[in-house]
Amino acid sequence: MGDPVPTVKFLGLTFNIANDISILLTCLIVFMFVFLLSRHLALKPKGGQNVLEWLIEFTNGIVKGSIKGNDASHFGLYAFTLFLFIFVANQLGLFLHIQVGQYTYVKSPTADPIVTLTLSFMTVALAHAAGVQKKGLKGYLKDYTSPFLVFLPINIFEQFTDFLTLGLRLFGNIFAGEMLLSKVATLATDGGSWFSYVYSFPIEFLWQGFSVFIGSVQAFVFVTLTSVYISQKVSPEE
């Protein structure tokens, strides 16, 4: 979607080079961020360690707000990693958009539905696996017939809607933001006069700042809903 991207076929599979590069770059940024902030750990945290511990407490707070008891501690690392990855991925295309010729090589990975639906699938799969581990297969399957057997098809359909809405919500917000930024940039370059740059620059500047805010909120929302979905599978029926 959006700008054309280079692809390559290998063993019958088609790989999106822009997604591959952007995801690897996002992972590298997240790794370097955590590595640099955790190089000099001390009992009395200061500087970068304060930032890292605040982020860990922030994501742990999200998890504990939905998942009760000792189960929350099992998903803290996943929530922390997921939040950092989505946050960086959402912002990447706003500050680093590399296009060579007609092809885009670096953009926000989360501006592609394949990436966001993959993240959604990971979360839903983890939630179901945690439910089976916590309640056993019999107890897990029993939830689908609760409170009555007639609710079975509705409960099954709900799993598909959770999967789709979690991924497509993130994609829609990030894709729309990048699309509008590109349209504003095109408006400036196609205007044919210096005046087009004058009125386009503040619009793009303001929208880019708003997109940073939206990207941050969407990372928070994704992790929050992840915690809710996991909680629904591991928490006992009341």
pLDDT at site 193: 64
Give the Cα separation of 199 and 188 in Å (integer): 8
Q: Is the pLDDT of residue 73 over 90?
A: no
pLDDT at site 237: 59
Q: For residues 235, 114, 87 and 203, what is the CA-based torsion angle, rounded to 10 degrees?
A: -130
Is residue 93 assigned to a domain? Answer: yes
Q: Is the pLDDT of residue 109 over 70?
A: yes
Instruction: Please state the rounded mean pLDDT for residues 172-182.
Output: 83
Of 203, 19, 205, nearest to 110 (Cα)? 19
Is residue 2 assigned to a domain? Answer: no
The count of domains in the chain is: 1
Q: Could you give the C-alpha distances from 44 to 49, 57, 60, 87, 172, in angstroms and in order?
A: 9, 16, 20, 28, 42
Is residue 1 assigned to a domain? Answer: no
Alpha-helical regions (H) of 2-112: 17-37, 48-66, 76-95
Is residue 197 assigned to a domain? Answer: yes
Q: Is the pLDDT of residue 166 over 80?
A: yes
Give the Cα separation of 39 and 28 in Å (integer): 16
Q: For residues 206, 209, 214 and 220, what is the CA-based torsion angle, rounded to 10 degrees?
A: -160
Give the Cα separation of 235 and 238 in Å (integer): 9
pLDDT at site 3: 65
Q: Is the pLDDT of residue 102 over 80?
A: no
Is residue 106 assigned to a domain? Answer: yes
pLDDT at site 115: 93
Give the residue numbers spanning the domain of 99. 7-234
Percent of the chain with pLDDT over 70: 91
pLDDT tier for residue 82 given thresholds of 50, 70 and 90: very high
Q: Is the pLDDT of residue 89 over 90?
A: yes
8 Å CB contact between 8 and 21: no
Give the Cα separation of 22 and 131 in Å (integer): 33
Q: Is the pLDDT of residue 49 over 90?
A: no
H or E, element range at 211: helix 194-234
Averaged pLDDT score across all residues of the chain: 85
Give the Cα separation of 134 and 213 in Å (integer): 37
Of 166, 171, 174, nearest to 212 (Cα)? 174
Q: Could you give the C-alpha distances from 33 to 51, 86, 191, 208, in angstroms and in order?
A: 11, 14, 40, 22
